[in-house]
Chain A
Amino acid sequence: MKRIGVLALQGAVREHLQSITACGAEAVSVKWPKDLEELDALILPGGESTTMRRLIDRYGLMEPLQDFAETGKPMFGTCAGLILLAKTVVGSDEAHLGVMDVAVERNSFGRQVDSFEAPLEIKGIDGAFEAVFIRAPHIVSAGPSAEVLCVHDGKIVMAKSGQFLGCSFHPELTEDHRITEYFLSMIPSKSDLLLPN
């Protein structure tokens, strides 16, 4: 069984854990570096990125998270999680993990009164996906290695870059598990690993 971690410092942790379980994988809360061991993939949930960043620093999680990225295992960030993954955060001198080849802007749809839900067409997912945007960031620019999966209102709201998947909205707030399934499909199966290069 695939073992998927959810960074559990703050935010919509429970919803991601439930979605992972609903997709038939094992869900694990990650609060400490040792919790990253033996995971096949990791989700960084929605929440407040400034809060998560402070707790990442305080509890020595930055290096272990970057090391996890180095292993090539898939990582998926939703909303605040996308901000944590991005190589560039507009208006900020330094990135957080800085591993995904995108630049993001925080709160780029406005304040909470501007938050919204909308049906999206997402590359690789059949049929509309009802997406919930909450004080959402968007991807200002995606590097050459990134593939844009969804644009809403002229803004990139979902992209994939190698092992990294990121979206502006919160798939975890809906009962629709197709994006979690999509992420799980990014985990190489054992037979893939046995193939010669």
Chain B
Amino acid sequence: MSQHGTDRVKRGMAEMQKGGVIMDVVNAEQARIAEAAGATAVMALERVPSDIRRDGGVARMADPRITEEVMKAVSIPVMAKARIGHIVEARILEAMGVDYIDESEVLTPADEEFHLLKNQYTVPFVCGCRNLGEAARRIGEGASMLRTKGEPGTGNIVEAVRHLRQVNAEVRKVIAMSEDELMTEARNLGASYEFLKEVKSLGRLPVVNFAAGGIATPADAALMMELGADGVFVGSGIFKSDNPERFARAIVEATTHYQDYKLIAELSKDLGIAMKGIEISTIAAGERMQERGW
């Protein structure tokens, strides 16, 4: 009688993350720090995005040993990244019992044409998007959660803001459209007609949408909540800062109380230096992770 891996079960898991912060970690010790700071989940990976960017080379799924140690270290959900289109990395993570898979542009894509058919898995997936068309295609493939992409590993919020504004503006446009305009909008966005009808009738995206890619301070996290994110992913921003424990706690609190500006001011005092950050225009177009995904 029990059914596993239904849309409701997979999307529901993301609903429980709302208002929370999901933190990138590369080992069990970081995972424990994240959990103690109030992270709602951790993302296990081999290198944080800023190191992937610095070191270059091919970025792959983390060594299963790292993921396993993180899973043993904490009681909160553990997410892990697989390369775009890498069926076997995804199946390995599912077999290991990871709670959520991020089919992520932060890793080097395994397939430059096709994403995973995520509705064939019991484990839920989160995917990146920059606009409503991309969101629609990922949900169509079975993603149960979205995150706007931003530009990972930069500590620069500008792309995260751009993408979240873009998605939300397109959602608002669809809601305001009359039914007879939806088919043309579907064609223009590269989204299915049924998906746009669903967005219009719900008055929002059908899955939870977090913000990611460049969040480095408590104020950045609060900004994304202000702009309508359901929660935030923080990658390099925590463990590349001067004081990861304090940054982690402050980002969690700023996400919960994102409109309490006096409080965020207090939280932001004497935090030490945030990750250094990169100006987007200095990154060659071919090295922008946000361009990955189709």
B39: chain A residues within 8 A (beta carbon): 51
CB of B221 to closest CB in A, whole Å: 13
With CB as the reference atom, state the residue of chain A lying closest to B21: A51
Q: Determine the distance from Cα of A116 to Cα of B124 in the docked complex, in whole angstroms.
A: 12
Which DSSP category, helix, strand, loop or mixed, fits chain B's interface? loop
CB of B218 to closest CB in A, whole Å: 13
A31: chain B residues within 8 A (beta carbon): 256-257
B124 touches A14 (CB 8 A): no
- The yes or no answer to B35 lying at the interface (CB within 8 A) is yes
A66: chain B residues within 8 A (beta carbon): none
Q: Determine the distance from Cα of A46 to Cα of B100 in the docked complex, in whole angstroms.
A: 18
Q: Which of B6-14, B185-193, B235-243, B280-288 lines the interface with chain A? A: B6-14
Q: Determine the distance from Cα of A132 to Cα of B3 in the docked complex, in whole angstroms.
A: 10
**What mask results when residues 89 to 117 of chain A are scored 1 for a CB within 8 Å of chain B, else 0?**
00000000000000000110011111111
Interface residues of B in 108-150 (CB under 8 A from A): 122-124
B99 touches A112 (CB 8 A): yes
CB of A32 to closest CB in B, whole Å: 9
With CB as the reference atom, state the residue of chain A lying closest to B260: A31
Interface residues of A in 152-170 (CB under 8 A from B): 153, 170
**What mask results when residues 2 to 23 of chain A are scored 1 for a CB within 8 Å of chain B, else 0?**
0000001111111100000000
- The yes or no answer to A80 lying at the interface (CB within 8 A) is yes
CB of A63 to closest CB in B, whole Å: 19
Q: Determine the distance from Cα of A96 to Cα of B184 in the docked complex, in whole angstroms.
A: 53
B12: chain A residues within 8 A (beta carbon): 115, 132, 134, 170, 173
CB of A56 to closest CB in B, whole Å: 10
| A51 in contact with B18 given A111-B99, A132-B8 (CB within 8 Å) | no
B9 touches A48 (CB 8 A): no
**What mask results when residues 1 to 29 of chain B are scored 1 for a CB within 8 Å of chain A, else 0?**
11111101100110111111000000000
Interface residues of B in 9-65 (CB under 8 A from A): 9, 12-13, 15-20, 35-41
- The yes or no answer to A54 lying at the interface (CB within 8 A) is yes
- The yes or no answer to B102 lying at the interface (CB within 8 A) is no
Chain A interface size, as a band, is 35 or more
B20 touches A47 (CB 8 A): yes
Interface residues of B in 186-232 (CB under 8 A from A): none
CB of B95 to closest CB in A, whole Å: 9
- The yes or no answer to A143 lying at the interface (CB within 8 A) is no
| A79 in contact with B16 given A113-B123, A114-B4, A116-B3 (CB within 8 Å) | yes
- The yes or no answer to B252 lying at the interface (CB within 8 A) is yes
- The yes or no answer to B76 lying at the interface (CB within 8 A) is yes
Interface residues of B in 241-294 (CB under 8 A from A): 252-253, 256-257
Q: Determine the distance from Cα of A81 to Cα of B36 in the docked complex, in whole angstroms.
A: 19
With CB as the reference atom, state the residue of chain A lying closest to B230: A14
A58: chain B residues within 8 A (beta carbon): 253
A12 touches B97 (CB 8 A): no
| A10 in contact with B20 given A51-B252, A55-B253, A118-B3 (CB within 8 Å) | yes
A134: chain B residues within 8 A (beta carbon): 9, 12-13, 16
- Write 13 A-B pairs (CB below 8 A) sorted by A numbering: A9-B256, A10-B19, A13-B19, A46-B15, A48-B20, A48-B77, A50-B75, A112-B99, A116-B9, A118-B1, A133-B9, A134-B9, A135-B13
Q: Which B residues contact A (CB, under 8 angstroms)? A: 1-6, 8-9, 12-13, 15-20, 35-41, 75-77, 94, 97-100, 122-124, 252-253, 256-257
